[in-house]
């Protein structure tokens, strides 16, 4: 066997989620593969994930220099940096997003406003079949636009459409995990893995964001920050670590992290609700009983909607959109139980091993929100899944993500009956794995409740 290839043939046996399940069943909760001359260690199950990424966070919180980190994110901003630079950017991001209303009423108003535009698009479809992911992707991107750039766009705006198409195409390239593990793939003639195109797209996006940054520099009022770009310009004066070079990547990162993740989760929810009309009806009954008027749900309603919360938790569990989170790196040789993880290894948090743990979630491929409802009918046990990962690198966008998932999914179900394109014929529950696990494109009909 060529040393460079190592265990690569194992990866050719199919989908990495299924392969990792088989390897876990055979070799246990920590196993490693030799790929591209590197050890790639998979950490499985709640207990070991906490042991490695929380208790031993100081040794397992770096990012390795893989293609996506090094060439797309150019080892800049939050996701791709380590040490002091990472800390500076992460602290800035968390503070800036808090200043812009994260977890507060002001952010909720932004999301609610976009939800209304989104519901109008669904109404305008008049119950005809539409590509489900299109309006969701546009609406979710628009929320990041208003956070990052200070403006939302008309859904037909040509510039806006171009921008989100490039981001979408770049992030949905299914070859990225393979190029990460085997960098040589990016140099193959004919660009068959699309690596050169990805890098071109990154440059294009940087150019667009540089233009917005220049416009903001010309119009900023330092006493009145409008958005993430203004926050960066203001904070740059106090923190030299926030460099000009990092700036466009920091904006791109916000789009990349905050668009695909949320829109894919909402799209999965449509697919599951479509296939489980009883769940959809029960959710709508709860919504109509709790909010009998025409107004859309708000975050204040959340505590009174346990079944809706359970549907969202079950969607996140089953959809499993970032099954392997993002890669981490070991900075020392560390013993975890009887396993020695070598310095320099890639360390993968296998979040999928929790979401699809047959002991925790019997019949784990079944969509069953009642897993999250206790005997008193209350929502419980959300901490059994870790869709936002854990430890120092856990997702800083979690509160916005939870708010968007709740407001979009509940307002959609309250207003519409979601039906398959053709009665009795349902889309596949299997998706495609790139960086994220995404559903295959499908159509659905959104029929307004009062017209059903
Ligand atoms: C359903 C939505 C989302 C899910 C499931 C999700 C999940 C994740 C996961 C699993 C990670 C990797 C953690 C690790 O390396 O162990 C991550 C990282 C990250 N997420 Fe999210 N995320 C979501 C939405 C968002 C949003 C809305 C934002 C921004 C507003 C965001 C910003 C980030 C950033 C910047 C990182 C890198 C953190 C670091 O390296 O320190 N995410 N997310």
Going by CA atoms, what residue is nearest to atom 29 of ligand 1?
397
The rounded distance, in Å, linking the Cα atoms of 11 and 20 is 9
CB 266 within 8 A of CB 137: no
Q: Is 78 in the pocket of ligand 1 (CB under 6 A)?
A: yes
By the 10 Å C-beta count (0-12 exposed, 13-18 middle, 19+ buried), 73 is classed as buried
pLDDT band of residue 2 (cuts 50, 70, 90) is: very low
CB atoms within 10 A of CB 151: 12
Q: Is 325 in the pocket of ligand 1 (CB under 6 A)?
A: yes
More confident residue, 356 or 3: 356
Q: Is 395 in the pocket of ligand 1 (CB under 6 A)?
A: yes
Q: Is 257 in the pocket of ligand 1 (CB under 6 A)?
A: yes
CB 449 within 8 A of CB 284: yes
Query: Looking at the predicted structure, is the pLDDT value of residue 4 above 60?
Result: no
Distance from the alpha carbon of residue 398 to the mean position of ligand 1, in angstroms: 7
Quick one: average pLDDT of 323-348? Answer: 96
The rounded distance, in Å, linking the Cα atoms of 93 and 231 is 9
Query: Looking at the predicted structure, is the pLDDT value of residue 309 above 90?
Result: yes
Among 63, 190, 179, residue whose Cα is nearest residue 434: 179
Q: Is 254 in the pocket of ligand 1 (CB under 6 A)?
A: yes
Distance from the alpha carbon of residue 432 to the mean position of ligand 1, in angstroms: 19
Going by CA atoms, what residue is nearest to atom 42 of ligand 1?
397
DSSP string of 209-221, one letter each residue: HHHHHHHHHHH--
DSSP letter assigned to residue 70: I
pLDDT digits (tens, 9 = 90+) for 97-154: 999 988 788 899 999 999 999 999 999 999 999 999 999 999 999 999 999 999 999 9
What is the distance between the terminal CA atoms of the chain, rounded to a whole angstrom?
A: 62
Q: How far, CA to CA in Å, does 275 sit from each of 272, 429, 441?
A: 5, 9, 15
Least confident of 6-10, 229-233, 398-402, 433-437: 6-10
The rounded distance, in Å, linking the Cα atoms of 106 and 125 is 30
The H-assigned helical ranges of 51-104 are 57-60, 67, 83-99
Mean pLDDT of the chain: 93
The rounded distance, in Å, linking the Cα atoms of 250 and 256 is 10
Query: Looking at the predicted structure, is the pLDDT value of residue 3 above 60?
Result: no
Among 350, 328, 322, residue whose Cα is nearest residue 434: 322
Distance from the alpha carbon of residue 257 to the mean position of ligand 1, in angstroms: 6
Task: Give the Cα-Cα-Cα angle 173, 174, 177 (nearest 5 degrees).
Answer: 110
Give the ipTM of the model, two decimals please. Answer: 0.99
Least confident of 33-42, 75-84, 309-318: 33-42
Q: Is 141 in the pocket of ligand 1 (CB under 6 A)?
A: no
pLDDT of residue 322: 96
Collapsing DSSP states into helix, strand and coil, what is residue 295? coil
Distance from the alpha carbon of residue 449 to the mean position of ligand 1, in angstroms: 35
Going by CA atoms, what residue is nearest to atom 21 of ligand 1?
395
Distance from the alpha carbon of residue 322 to the mean position of ligand 1, in angstroms: 9
Going by CA atoms, what residue is nearest to atom 17 of ligand 1?
395
pLDDT digits (tens, 9 = 90+) for 377-391: 999 999 999 999 999
pLDDT of residue 24: 94
Query: Looking at the predicted structure, is the pLDDT value of residue 1 above 50?
Result: no
Tokens of 286: 């709860």
Q: Is 396 in the pocket of ligand 1 (CB under 6 A)?
A: yes
Among 206, 136, 143, residue whose Cα is nearest residue 170: 206
Distance of CA 206 to the CA centre of its chain: 21
The rounded distance, in Å, linking the Cα atoms of 94 and 386 is 20
pLDDT digits (tens, 9 = 90+) for 248-304: 999 999 999 999 999 999 999 999 999 999 999 999 999 999 999 889 999 999 999
DSSP string of 151-205, one letter each residue: ----TT-HHHHHHHHHHHHHHT-TTHHHHHH-GGGGGSGGGTT-HHHHHHHHHHH
- pTM value is 0.96
- Axis-axis angle for helices 398-415, 133-148 (nearest 10): 140
Type and span of the H or E element at 278: helix 277-290
Among 317, 337, 398, residue whose Cα is nearest residue 41: 337
Share of the chain above pLDDT 70, in %: 99
Is 308 one of the annotated binding-site residues?
no
Tokens of 413: 């179900």
Contacts of 39 (CB under 8 A, 6+ apart): 32, 33, 342, 344, 345, 346
Q: Which atom of ligand 1 is nearest to the CA of 53?
A: 16
Q: Is 260 in the pocket of ligand 1 (CB under 6 A)?
A: no
pLDDT band of residue 183 (cuts 50, 70, 90) is: confident
Q: Is 322 in the pocket of ligand 1 (CB under 6 A)?
A: yes
Query: Looking at the predicted structure, is the pLDDT value of residue 53 above 70?
Result: yes
pLDDT of residue 434: 87
DSSP letter assigned to residue 302: G
């Amino acid at each position: 066997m060529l040393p460079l290839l190592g265990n690569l043939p194992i990866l050719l046996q199919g989908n990495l989620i299924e392969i990792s399940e088989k390897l876990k069943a055979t070799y246990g909760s920590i196993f490693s593969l030799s790929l591209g001359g590197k050890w790639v260690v998979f950490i499985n199950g709640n207990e070991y994930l906490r042991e490695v990424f929380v208790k031993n966070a100081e040794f397992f919180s770096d990012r390795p220099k893989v293609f996506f980190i090094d060439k797309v994110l150019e080892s800049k901003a939050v996701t791709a940096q380590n040490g002091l630079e990472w800390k500076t950017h992460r602290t800035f991001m968390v503070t800036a997003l808090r200043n812009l209303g994260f977890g507060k009423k002001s952010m909720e108003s932004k999301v609610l406003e976009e939800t209304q535009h989104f519901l109008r698009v669904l109404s305008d479809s008049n119950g005809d079949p539409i590509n489900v992911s299109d309006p969701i992707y546009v609406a979710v991107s628009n929320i990041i636009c208003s956070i990052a750039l200070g403006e939302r766009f008309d859904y037909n705006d040509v510039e806006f459409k171009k921008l989100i198409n490039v981001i979408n195409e770049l992030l949905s390239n299914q070859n990225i995990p393979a190029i990460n593990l085997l960098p040589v793939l990016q140099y193959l003639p004919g660009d068959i893995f699309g690596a050169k195109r990805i890098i071109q797209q990154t440059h294009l996006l940087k150019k667009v964001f540089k233009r917005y940054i220049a416009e903001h520099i010309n119009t900023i009022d330092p006493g009145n920050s409008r958005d993430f770009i203004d926050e960066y310009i203001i904070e740059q004066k106090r923190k030299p670590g926030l460099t000009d070079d990092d700036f466009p990547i920091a904006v791109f990162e916000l789009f990349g992290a905050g668009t695909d993740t949320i829109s894919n989760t909402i799209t999965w929810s449509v697919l599951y609700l479509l296939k489980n009309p009883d769940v959809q009806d029960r959710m709508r009954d709860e919504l109509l009983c709790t909010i009998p008027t025409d107004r859309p749900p708000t975050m204040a309603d959340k505590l009174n909607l346990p079944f809706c919360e359970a549907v969202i938790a079950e969607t996140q569990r089953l959809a499993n959109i970032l099954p392997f989170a993002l890669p981490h790196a070991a900075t020392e040789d560390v013993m975890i139980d009887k396993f020695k993880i070598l310095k320099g290894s890639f360390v993968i948090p296998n979040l999928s091993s929790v979401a699809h743990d047959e002991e925790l979630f019997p019949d784990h491929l079944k969509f069953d929100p009642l897993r999250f409802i206790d005997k008193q009918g209350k929502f419980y046990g959300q901490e059994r899944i870790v869709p936002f990962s854990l430890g120092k690198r856990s997702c800083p966008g979690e509160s916005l993500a939870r708010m968007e998932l709740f407001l979009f999914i509940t307002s959609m179900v309250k207003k519409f009956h979601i039906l398959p394109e053709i009665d009795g014929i349902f889309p596949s529950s299997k998706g495609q794995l790139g960086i994220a696990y995404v559903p295959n494109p499908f159509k659905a009909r959104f029929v307004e409740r009062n017209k059903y």
